[in-house]
Amino acid sequence: MTALFLGAGFSKWAFNLPLVNQLFDFDISPTNDTEQRKVELLESDWKRWEIENKGASPEQFIYWCLNKSSHRRSRINWYVSRRLTEPFMTRISGSYTSAMFDERVVRENSKVIELKGFITSLGEHGLKGILTCNYDTLVECALGTSGFNYGVIGEQLYGRGLNPQFPWQNAHVRVTGHIPLAKLHGSLSWDLSTKYTSGKPGRAGKALIIPPAPEKKPPPELESIWCSGLAKLATTL
């Protein structure tokens, strides 16, 4: 039996998502004036902080933001989530949003197809679960809602909401796959109370994640995820 543990290097290899030391490249395309202003303010803080803290790590900058003020805490949480959501932005009804796991633009992405093949091949070795500290939704996009679960088969995920132009996106769906996915540091597709079919919370900067700072403490909302991940590891030992 096999349990797959995915670290940050996996997301870099699979989809060229930035490692933490590459996170502040500010490589996003703001979709409105509010996002543009957030990027400008954070980039200004980053440049000034780099000058005043020679040799310090990006994790320390994140920790500084989290503890400096509520505005900076909100801004850094937004940026980390938004930067990792950027590759999955899609245009819907005249505005930009994050693509859904089962959306055509995702299913037909060559990297997602390759990733699906890699994970599927591990099934031949008795893959019993996937654990990761990554927030991104690469696994969800590769396997689709019929290929994984977050610990409960049949759990409901929420879609984009009512939109008469795109009725097929309105229905909430259930994950029916048999591969458990334990996201130990949270997910771009979760907020405090709901799990979604896309990185919608990350797009809004309200995702339930543990930012990559030197001192990490999992919130109570992730306790069940940690327990299920530990149980999954135990079955493979």
Rounded to an integer, what is the distance from CA 185 to the centroid of its chain? Answer: 9
Return d(Cα 206, Cα 122) in angstroms, integer.
33
pLDDT at 169: 52
- Closest by CA to 16, choosing from 100, 92, 97, 114, is 114
Domain that holds residue 224: 2-234
pLDDT at 46: 96
Look-up of token digits 């299913």? 107
Domain count, the chain: 1
pLDDT at 160: 66
Return d(Cα 234, Cα 237) in angstroms, integer.
5
- Closest by CA to 98, choosing from 16, 147, 160, 185, is 160
| Residues sharing a CB contact under 8 Å with residue 94, sequence separation 6 or more, in sequence order | none
pLDDT at 97: 75
pLDDT in tens, the chain (237 residues): 688 899 989 999 988 999 999 999 999 988 889 999 999 999 999 999 999 998 899 999 999 999 999 999 999 989 998 898 888 877 655 567 788 898 888 889 999 999 999 998 888 778 889 999 999 999 999 999 999 999 899 999 988 654 545 555 556 789 999 999 999 999 999 998 899 998 888 888 889 998 888 877 777 888 888 877 666 665 655
pLDDT at 188: 92
Rounded to an integer, what is the distance from CA 68 to the centroid of its chain? Answer: 25
Look-up of token digits 């980039």? 43
Q: Name residue 5's amino acid.
A: F
pLDDT at 170: 53
pLDDT at 99: 83
Predicted model pTM: 0.85
